[in-house]
Amino acid sequence: MSLLVINDRAYLEHAPGNWPEGPHRLEAVWMALAETGVKEALVFEPPEPAREEDLALVHTERHIDRIRRFARAGGGYLTLDTVVSAESFDVALLAVGGALKALEAVLSGRTVRSAALVRPPGHHATPEEGMGFCLFNNVAVAAAHARKRRGLERVMIIDWDLHHGNGTEAAFYASPGVLFVSCHESPAYPGTGWLTDTGEGEGEGYTVNLPLPPGSGDRTYREAFETVIAPVARAYRPEVILVSCGLDAHYLDPIGRLRLSTGGYGELSAIVCGLADELCQGRVVFVLEGGYDVVGLGWGMASILNVASGRGGPIPEPEGYDPPEPQDEPLSASSRLDDIRSVQQEYWPV
């Protein structure tokens, strides 16, 4: 089985200067896919730019207009952590469009699984503002498109970026039509996503936060996915699974303190693809979010796509890099998972 990947060199044109979220990130992914041979199992297609009415499925007109005007004026600091260049608005439209094209390919049956290797990332962008390197919320717009235009009743978003997907949560906090699951480091930016944040109104119970303490690694992630995320998915029975695919939980990443290995990311991919095979005809869309070490980002994505494409299993570390030694995870991680299951038992058979 080949895997469709939406990607384009135009994504390099969002160039905020000497910044962690820069064009070098995509170049690192391309290099790793070639070095590992995973590229041979992928079919690449370019994105098509999203329309402003696509953005309006999630974002306010005021926010869309602000980003457009800011970029057209030459850019600068949108916030203290988000830089915009003159080309950023057009590239952000391509990022949203890449996620939409990857989703449509899966929903139309052109491919079973797909990936959108896009930038800028999106999961911190709320309906009303951009932040955390994000301008528009690529995954949220794709989920809203699936619901409002394609008529899907149940969309599941799994966000395994190191940071909580606060923007995605905000977009669907009151909706049972989108099940948002975020597995992230806590405490960490942006300081949201506590385990008792479970949604509101009709959406109560449809936000599942798994805030993991620093030092959590492969073993904790496997337990979280097997004892919380998988049972929730089976109870919800999504019609498609979207993955906010951040790679900054990798042990090499300079921003975070979680310690997922390259192979660990492949294992997460196997769990999610297995759930999709069981629940929704295999339909999974991976959308790139964070990841700021070029080796961790590139090889982690190669490991994910190697599994998702059916080419092989998780990929180990490149030569010269040693994964974290297997060890008992900190007691705080085990205790935190107990607390998460205790909260979620009110809503799901975890």
Euclidean distance between CA atoms 47 and 171, whole angstroms: 24
* Residue 44, beta-bridge partner list: 5
Do 210 and 187 contact (CB within 8 A), yes or no? no
Q: What is the CA radius of gyration of the chain?
A: 18
- From the list 59, 123, 124, 164, the catalytic residue is 124
Euclidean distance between CA atoms 225 and 272, whole angstroms: 9
* Amino acid code (one letter) for 77: Y
Residue 124 designated active-site: yes
Please state whether 14 falls in left (phi above 0), alpha (psi between -120 and 50) or beta. beta
Sheet containing 207-212: give its strands across.
Answer: 42-45, 3-6, 113-116, 284-288, 240-245, 155-159, 178-185, 207-212
Closest C-alpha to 114, from 124, 96, 100, 95: 100
Do 214 and 176 contact (CB within 8 A), yes or no? no
Count of other CB atoms within 10 angstroms of residue 79 = 14
Show the DSSP H helices in the chain as ranges.
24-36, 52-55, 61-72, 88-107, 138-148, 166-172, 218-224, 230-236, 262-279, 294-308, 331-344
Closest C-alpha to 277, from 313, 238, 248: 238
Do 211 and 336 contact (CB within 8 A), yes or no? yes
Euclidean distance between CA atoms 97 and 102, whole angstroms: 9
Peptide bond just before 120 cis, omega within 30 deg: yes
Closest C-alpha to 293, from 272, 270, 271, 318: 318
Catalytic center residues: 124
